[in-house]
Every structure is written in C-alpha cells, then in structure tokens.
Amino acid sequence: MQRATPVAFLLVLGMAAGSEVTPIQKVLTLMEEMKGKAIKEKNAEEVRFSAFTSWCTNTKGSKTREIEAGNAKMESLAAAIEKAAVTIRKLTERILELEEDVGRWQKDKVSAKTVRDAERADYTATVTDYTESIDAVAGAIRVLKAQTADKAQALIQVSSLKLVPAHAKKVLVSFMQQDHELAYDAPEANAYENQSGGVIEMLEKLNDEFSTKKRDLEKEELGAQQAFEQIFQQLSDDIENAEFEINKKTKHRAETQQNKAELEGDLAQTTADRDEDQKYLDETTALCTQKTTDFESRNQLRADEITAISKAIEIIGSGAVAGSGEKHLPQLLQIRATALPQLRSNQMSPAQQRVVSFLNEQARKSGSRLLQEIAASAQGNPFGKVKKMIKDLIVKLMEEATSETEHKGFCDTELTTNKQTRDKKTADVNELNSDIEDLTATIASLTQDIADLTAAVKELDAAMAKETEERNTAKAKNAQTVKDAKAGQVAVEQAMAVLKDFYAKAATATALVQAKGPADDAPETFDKEYQGQQASGGGVVDFLEVILTDFARLESDTAAAESEESEEYKNFMHESTKDKALKENEIKLKSQTKTDKESALQQANEDLKVTQEQLDKALEYYEKLKPQCVDSGITYEERVKRREEEIVSLQEALKILAGTDLPTMGL
C-alpha cells in the first residue's frame, strides 16, 4: 500500500492551517529544490558526455583509418623505393660490367694490332728474304747455264743466302773449288759438265722450294690479315654496342634515381602525416580516457550528492525531527491545534490515552508515519473501534509483508533481466549506429571516388579522341606538305633549267651591224642587242634557288616534325591507355567495395530497426516495472524493519488496550 511521505503530511498540515511555514518546512523545500537541480544537472551532464563519447568514438575511428591508410601507403612506397634501389644496383652492376668489357676489348684491339704489326713485319722480312733468294738462285742458274765468267760471283751470292740449306752451301763451295784451268776436252770436260748440271738441278729445286714457301707465306699472311680484320671489326662492334647499352642504361638509372628521390620525398611526407595523425590519436585517446575517468568520478559524486540530499530529506522529515518541531516550534503546535480541534475535544479512556502516548513515542523513535496516523485515529475514535482498527492493521501489515516478499522476488528477477536486455540492446544500437555512420561515410567517399575516376576516364577518352583526330589531321597535312614541297622542288628545278638554258643562249645573241641609213633618221628605239633580261634574269634564278632551298628545308622540317609528332602521339596514347586501364580497374574495385558496403549498410539498418524495437520494448517494460519495483527513497530492508517495528508496536498497543501492563513503555 502506498502511503504519503512525512514531508507531504507536514505540508498538508501547514496548508490546512493557512499560516506561515516552519523553518523545517523551509529547509525541506530548499533541499527538494537542491535535489531537483542536482538531478537536472546530472542528466544534462550525462547528455553532454554522451555527445563527447560519440565524438571520441568517431574521431578515434577516423584517425585510426587514416593511420592505417598511411601505413599501407608507407609500405607501398617503401616497396617501390626498394624496387628502385634494386633496379639502380642492377643497372650500376651492368654498366660496370659493360665498361669493364669495353676496357678489355679496347686492350684486345691494341694487342691484336700489335701482334698483327709484328706478324706483318716478320712476313715482310721473310718475303723479302725469299724474294732475294729466288732472284739470286735464278740468276745463278742463268749464269751456270750460260757459262759466263761471273758464275763464281753468282754462286758466292747464293751460298751467302741464309735460306740456303747447309748441304747445298757445301755443294756450291765444293763446286767453286774445282780447278777452272783444266782443259775442257774429254773426259774431264764431260765430268765438269756433269757436275755443273747437278748444281743447276739443285739450284732449280731450291728455286722451286723458295717459290712454294713464298706462296704459302703469302697465303698465310692473307689469312692472318683477314682474321685480324674480322676480330678487329668484331671488337669494334662489341665496343659500339656496349657503349650504346651503357648510355641507355645510364639514362635509365638517372630516371630511376629521380623517381626514387621523389618516392623518398613522398614517403617522408606520408610518414610525417602518419606521425601527426598518430600524435593526434594518442592525444585524443588520452583526453577521452581522462574525461571518462573524470565523468565517472563526477557522475558518482552527483549520485552520492542526490542520495545524501534524499537521505537528509528523509531524516529532516522523519518523526524524530518532526517531534522536535512539535516541542520547539510554536507555529507547528498552533497548526496542529488548529487542524485537530475535534481530536483535542474528545474524551479518551486512560488505556486509550496510554495507547496514544505509546504510539506517538514509538512513531517518534522509528519515524513511522503509520504509527502517527494510528495514534491520531486512536484519539478520535471509540475504544472498541480503535482496538479493531489495530488488529485489522496488524493483519494487513502481515499480508503486506508476505505480498511484498513475493513481489520483491518478482521485481528483482524482472529488473535484472530487463537491465541486462536494455544494456545489451543499447550497446548493440550504439554499435550499429556507429557502423551505419562509418558505412555511410565510406559509401559516400567511394561514390565520390568512382565519380571522379569516371570523369577522369571520360576526360582521357575525350583527350585521346581529340589527340587522335588532331594527329590524323596533322599527319595528312604534313603528308600533303611534303608532297607539295617535293612537287615544288621539281617545278622550281624545271623552271631554273628553262631559265638557265634560255639565258645561256641569249648571252650569245648580238645586234646586227647596220650601215648608216634610215635607222639614223628614225626615232630612237634601242641601241643595244637584246639578250633577254640578263640583269633581272640572274636575280630570278637566285630567287628560285632560295625558293628551292626553302622547299627542301620545308620537306626536311615537315618530315622531322611528323616523326617527332608521331612519336609524341605514340607516347601520349601509351601513357593514356595505361592510365585509363588503371583507373578503370580502380573503378571496378571501388564499385565492388561500394556494393559490399551498401549491402552491409542495408543489413545494418535492418538489424538496427529490429534491435531498436527490442530496446523500445525493454524500456517500455521498464517504465511499467518502475512504479511497482523501483524504491522511492527507502530500501526494501528498511521497509521490512519498519513494518516489523510497526507490528510489534501495534501488538503492544493491543496489550495496553487489553489491560496488560507493558514491561517497558519507554515513556
């Protein structure tokens, strides 16, 4: 049964009297205002902190994602830098290898030329020796065959040759030592002739041998020269190819080094940005942690304050304080005297008076409003009615005790279950709202990225189409220009040929020499032969030569421009095609991610709707439980204790009414 509080009871008395309130009432009113203000400020601070908590969650989430993106970009840049470093190292190693090869091949060229020069010198000397030997041997053969006087000199010359074998030299020496004074008749002459014939035969063999070796030597020299030229050309080609590759790889290395430097700069900036984001996240985390700790402390302090004020209100409004007010506050006595004139006028029996005094004293000690009400009722009701009222009240209190015990078990179970449900569903709703916000932001970002990439692809297509159209136009124009330049050159050359031929012939023309006659009397016409516009004719040819040169320069410049423009167009189309492919691939990836995120968002919204409905039902059920299960200023234990005290006091009052003396009245 719900009963009015002692504070309400006093206020009712004050309003019934229509007089000024007592100091106790003023204090109670002030504390009620303090309590209301404390509750209001506590709720307002909880609302503000809830917004702060959401900011913390969103900020930490966004910064964490930015840091993760920065780390991913740093990893990508580091990998690209490492790849560039490896490329530079490999290029450097290859360049050094090629430079080493070039140095070795240049040395090989020098060595080959040195060997070739030495071989050539040896060949020249040897061929000279063979030539001289062949000439000497041939001369000796002719002398011997001719039997001339200088045959000894010829044989001496042959024997002095270093290519003549030793046995041949012995034969020659032996032949020359013969006595040339012998008579040339038989048989001595025949013997000499036979010996001379043997020497000639030997010399002819030597001559054939020398000729054969000379031819072999010339063949070897020709082969050696061809081999040298082949090796020398191969080395030159190798050097030229290596130097070309060195230049190409050196340029590639410089470009890679430039790209690496740019990547390192980007990495440094990304690292600085990531560190700044990490610092901001750490500071945000520290701030949120500190604020959370401070809020929990403040919130607990506010709750403790509200509890303390409530306890103070309970104490001030209790029977003990009210009893003191009855003694020390005349105005309150006046209010009670005015409000209860009929009770004072009633005549009570001694037992009834003892019961009223006992109940008032017990009410003052325990602060029981019920005992105060029973005491007041005992004053204004007949004895028998008071006794019955006390018995009925004892029975009612016992029934209330049993009912409240059962009701408390029900309330404890339902409140605990309901709180768990509310806490879980609230956490689920908050998490789903956070997920929905993140997914919505991600989808919006992906949508913008896809739109930007699509626009970029469209711009690339337009630029490529425009460039292709301009290239085709320029190509046709350049082709026509070259064609016109060639035709112009042909035409100018033809014109020059005609003019030059004409002026060559005109230069030979002479005027007829006429005798004095009518021409002298005729009006003046001209006095020189006509050889064509020689003066201006030479200028025209000069101009034509300039025009011919201009046409030739136009052809070469246009051809060079066409080659350069064609190369630029190829490079542009290659880079644009590659860029377009990358962007289209990125659009595909982001579109797939967006589809996944949209599906996740739809599921999250559906989950949020179901979870919110479950939370609303739990909150609705909690509002139903509050009136019957949530204490309003007094605990269950205190109510049980007070009820027990009230039952005991009422039982003692019955004993007083029955005429049984109390062991201890406490009066």
Identify the band that residue 71 occupies on the pLDDT scale cut at 50, 70 and 90: very high
CA–CA dist 306, 310 (Å, integer) = 6
Give the number of other CB atoms < 10 A from CB of residue 523: 4
Domains of the chain, by residue range, sit at: 1-28+317-338, 83-277, 443-505+533-620
Q: What is the signed CA dihedral for 193, 196, 197, 198, rounded to 10 degrees? A: 130
For residue 312, pLDDT over 50 is answered with yes
Cα–Cα–Cα angle for 376, 381, 387, nearest 5°? 90
CB 203 within 8 A of CB 137: yes
For residue 521, pLDDT over 50 is answered with no
Mean pLDDT computed over 242-259: 94
Q: Write a three-state SS string for 146-160.
A: HCCCCHHHHHHHHHC
The whole-chain average pLDDT of the chain stands at 77
Token pair of 143 as six digits: 């002398």
For residue 14, pLDDT over 90 is answered with no
Confidence (pTM): 0.35
3-state helix, strand, coil in the chain (%, to 5): 90, 0, 10
The runs of H, that is alpha helices, within 516-533 are: 518-521
Amino acid identity of residue 262, one-letter, is E
* CATH, domain 443-505+533-620, list 1.10.1760, 1.20.1250, 2.60.40, 1.10.287: 1.10.287
pLDDT, tens digit, for every residue of 391-449? 777 887 777 777 767 777 778 788 888 889 889 889 999 999 999 999 999 999 999 99
For residue 537, pLDDT over 70 is answered with no
Token pair of 45 as six digits: 């601070």
pLDDT, tens digit, for every residue of 579-619? 889 989 989 998 999 999 999 999 999 999 999 998 898 88
Q: What is the pLDDT of residue 349?
A: 63
Identify the band that residue 188 occupies on the pLDDT scale cut at 50, 70 and 90: very low
Q: What is the pLDDT of residue 189?
A: 40
CB 75 within 8 A of CB 303: no
Q: What is the b/e burial string over 621-652, where b = at least 16 CB atoms within 10 angstroms of the residue's CB?
A: ebeeeeeebeeeeeeeeeeeebbebbbebbeb
Q: What is the pLDDT of residue 595?
A: 94
Q: What is the pLDDT of residue 5?
A: 41
Token pair of 509 as six digits: 């023309």
Give the 3-state secondary structure of residue 20: coil
CA–CA dist 154, 142 (Å, integer) = 9
